[in-house]
């Protein structure tokens, strides 16, 4: 029997070791969101500002339109039942608490300390100088099939559904809100190249199918 394909959230930082969460794919659900924002007052007040006839006029029509970064709503199931049945002592004692602690650590602000190592800001292990005390969110990599996307973890919602006698959870549905970090970074650039190639393949297939339908 083949093992389920796993997805990963990995902290992209100088940490010993970096935070990592593995989860089985397919997820319970995954929603990708992309939107544009029309900025009021950035286009002419008259309707004529939106009129166009030629492709050369579309840049004027699109003034004031901003494309928002892509975001993900991801629902995953974290379950320690199999590990408990296999005799894993950690799972038998505290269930999925380590995974939930990992997610909480991913969303909490970090402080850069000596040597560039990042630790939870709440621990107070940062350096004494001001530039060493600045708190930042974790940059994470969402590894999902052929995709490796840099993301911020915006939100976590945990629904615990089964517990051990000591009340440690061993099964939970977790909803994650992720925002893609777009810009000049190697992970996003690879994703955009993959997207362009995929779109070109679809265009070529559609053109061939369309032409074939004419004959």
Q: If you average pLDDT over residues 92-106, what whole number do you get? A: 93
Reported pTM: 0.75
Q: Which of 53-57, 137-141, 170-174 has the lowest mean pLDDT?
A: 53-57
Per-residue pLDDT reduced to its tens digit, 152-168: 999 999 999 999 999 99
Give the ranges where the chain is alpha helix by DSSP (H): 58-61, 81-85, 89-94, 97-107, 130-133, 186-213
**pLDDT-based confidence at 63, cuts 50/70/90?**
confident
Residue-level pLDDT at 115: 61
What residue ranges in 19-146 does DSSP mark as E strands? 20-24, 29-33, 36-38, 65-67, 71-79, 110-112, 118-120, 135-136, 140-144
Tell me what the pLDDT averaged over the chain comes to.
82
Q: Which of 24-28, 94-98, 104-108, 121-125 has the highest mean pLDDT?
A: 94-98
């Amino acid at each position: 029997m083949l093992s389920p394909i796993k997805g990963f959230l990995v902290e992209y930082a100088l940490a010993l070791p970096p935070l990592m969460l593995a989860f089985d794919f397919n997820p319970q659900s995954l929603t990708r969101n992309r939107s544009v924002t029309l900025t009021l007052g950035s286009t002419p007040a008259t309707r004529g500002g939106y009129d166009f006839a030629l492709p050369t006029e579309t840049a004027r029509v699109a003034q004031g339109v901003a494309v928002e970064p892509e975001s993900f709503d991801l629902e995953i199931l974290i379950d320690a039942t199999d590990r408990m049945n296999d005799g894993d002592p950690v799972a038998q004692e505290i269930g999925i608490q380590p995974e939930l602690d990992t997610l909480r650590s991913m969303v909490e602000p970090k402080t850069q300390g000596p040597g560039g190592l990042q630790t939870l800001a709440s621990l107070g292990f940062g350096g004494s100088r001001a530039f060493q005390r600045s708190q930042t969110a974790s940059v994470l990599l969402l590894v999902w099939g052929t995709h490796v996307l840099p993301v911020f973890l915006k939100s976590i919602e945990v629904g615990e559904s089964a517990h051990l006698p000591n009340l440690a959870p061993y099964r939970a549905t977790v909803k994650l809100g992720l925002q893609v970090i777009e810009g000049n970074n190697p992970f996003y650039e690879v994703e955009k190249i993959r997207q362009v190639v995929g779109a070109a393949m679809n265009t070529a297939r559609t053109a061939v199918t369309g032409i074939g339908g004419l004959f």
